[in-house]
Amino acid sequence: MNKNEKKSLFSFLLIYAGSTVLMLGVLLYSYYINELQALDTHCTIQMQSAANKIRGDILKAYMDKKTFNPSKLKENSMHYGLFSKDKKKIYSNLFNKNLKFNNTSYFNDTHSFHISTIDENMGINIKYIIIETDQLPNDVKELKLIMISILIFSSIFIIFIGYFLAKLLLKPIRNKFEVLDNFIKDSAHELNTPVSILLASSSTLKQGRHEKKMLKYIISSAKQISHIYNDIHFLAFDEKNISLDEIINLDELIYECIDFYKDIALIKNIKIITKLEKTIILIDKMKMQKILNNLLSNAIKYSKKNGQIIISIKDNTLSIQDFGIGIKQEDQKMIFKRYKRGDNNEGGFGIGLDIVSKVVKEYNLTLHLNSKLQKGSTFLIDIKNILK
């Protein structure tokens, strides 16, 4: 992973994980506040219930003219104290000594308190009933621990998912950049040959040597550069390439194509044989030229020196056959994808057959490939859908 990819990955994680964790934090805080209120209400009800029971027991003992004997509460987390009107202890098993008699309820770091009173006009020497419990602080601590744990583990999970998603999203972009990087390198390599030949031939011509031969090299190189440029231009603006169908003579168009490439074929001493039936078709002429140019260019490129190429039209089928290096079985489906090539040693950057495939699909034609290593390749196009 390069520096830019790492930067993009970090930025995505920061935005995605940061915003998601923040939203989760807000939701958890809202839940925490609601739970806190629920715990406080529940604790208050329990303390009020305990205080009312003690008050009831005191009043019952007073009505029965018996002495009230304090006992432990059933709730182990609760303790209580009984105090006179001048706040003197009558009974207490409270842990805290500093009590606030003026509040109905309050809490400190360790306990919650509820103060209930008995009407002093009844003649009972007990005025204050104070209930003490550590249930609420303990429940709050437990709630905080749960909330923090959820936030931490959720954050880790969100970051992990974010990282996985980022890698997933960056993968096609990374592949695209790798393809483009290879395309640029291959473009430089592909253009280097005809440009070098042009420069060398021009220099030789300047010296007045081998004029006829150098002129052929110059023409061949210029045509190769023209072919490369036209293919790149076609793909770059393929969305704007509106089809302008017209009636054309296919066999005549093939001869025009052969005439254009004969200088390139001559460099490798390749003979182009034609077996053409007169065929009239309805298609965009420029797009049909793209099919012929790319198939013939590939046939020349992958043919061996002193070889031959056969172009035929028979039974509504256009066939271009070479006797070159052939294409591996596992590569035959891939070569119609952009930037895929049959053999990296032969140059080219795999856009020609992508153009052929696009045009064939646009006109609902059928394209077949028969190829064997070191035997050659034959491209067959069923053209009956465009016959006129």
Phi, psi of 8 (to 5 degrees): -65, -40
Q: Are 315 and 196 in contact (CB under 8 A)?
A: no
Of the listed ranges 21-25, 77-81, 178-182, the least confidently predicted one is 178-182
Euclidean distance between CA atoms 218 and 196, whole angstroms: 10
Q: Which pLDDT belongs to residue 187?
A: 65
257 alpha carbon, distance to own chain's centre: 44
Q: Which pLDDT belongs to residue 35?
A: 93
3-class state of residue 306 by DSSP = coil
List the Cα angle 34/143/146 in 5-degree steps: 120
Name the more confident of 344 and 170.
170
Of the listed ranges 132-136, 301-305, 314-318, 337-341, the least confidently predicted one is 337-341
Residue bearing tokens 């053999």: 343
Handedness of CA 352, 358, 360, 363 (dihedral sign): negative
CATH of 242-386 given 3.30.1360.30, 3.30.565.10, 3.40.50.1980, 3.40.50.300: 3.30.565.10
Tokens representing 44 are 């208050």
Q: Which pLDDT belongs to residue 120?
A: 75
To which H or E segment does residue 112 belong?
Answer: strand 112-117
Phi-psi region of 65 (alpha: psi -120 to 50; beta: other; left: phi over 0): left
Going from N- to C-terminal start, the domains of the chain cover: 3-145, 242-386
Q: Which pLDDT belongs to residue 345?
A: 46
User: Mean per-residue pLDDT for 67-93?
Assistant: 86
Euclidean distance between CA atoms 307 and 377, whole angstroms: 13
User: Mean per-residue pLDDT for 131-143?
Assistant: 91
Q: Which pLDDT belongs to residue 349?
A: 40
Residue 334 one-letter amino acid: M
Q: Which pLDDT belongs to residue 67?
A: 83
Of the listed ranges 26-30, 129-133, 225-229, 263-267, the least confidently predicted one is 225-229
User: Mean per-residue pLDDT for 377-383?
Assistant: 94
Name the more confident of 383 and 217.
383
Is the model's pLDDT at 81 over the cut of 60? Answer: yes
Q: Which pLDDT belongs to residue 82?
A: 94
User: Mean per-residue pLDDT for 47-76?
Assistant: 86
Euclidean distance between CA atoms 78 and 46, whole angstroms: 9
For residue range 96-132, what is the model confidence (pLDDT) as tens digits?
988 998 888 888 888 999 999 988 777 788 899 999 9
Residue 217 one-letter amino acid: Y
Handedness of CA 183, 187, 188, 190 (dihedral sign): positive
When pLDDT is cut at 50, 70 and 90, the band that residue 344 belongs to is very low
Q: What is the mean pLDDT of the chain?
A: 84
For residue range 225-261, what is the model confidence (pLDDT) as tens digits?
877 777 676 766 655 567 789 999 999 999 999 988 8
Neighbours of 148 (CB within 10 A): 12
Q: Which pLDDT belongs to residue 114?
A: 93
Phi, psi of 354 (to 5 degrees): -65, -40
DSSP 343-378: -GGG---S-HHHHHHHHHHHTT-EEEEEEETTTEEE
- All residues at 6 or more sequence positions from 329 whose CB lies less than 8 Å from its CB, including other chains: none
Is the model's pLDDT at 348 over the cut of 50? Answer: no
DSSP assignment, residue 303?
Answer: S
Residue 311 one-letter amino acid: I
When pLDDT is cut at 50, 70 and 90, the band that residue 278 belongs to is very high
What's the maximum distance between 2 C-alpha atoms anywhere in the chain?
141
Name the more confident of 282 and 204.
282
Q: Which pLDDT belongs to residue 210?
A: 65
Q: Are 352 and 298 in contact (CB under 8 A)?
A: yes
Please report how many Cα atoms fall inside a 13 Å half-sphere around the Cα of residue 175, on the Cβ side. Answer: 7
Could you give the percent of the chain with pLDDT greater than 70? Answer: 87
Q: Which pLDDT belongs to residue 374?
A: 87
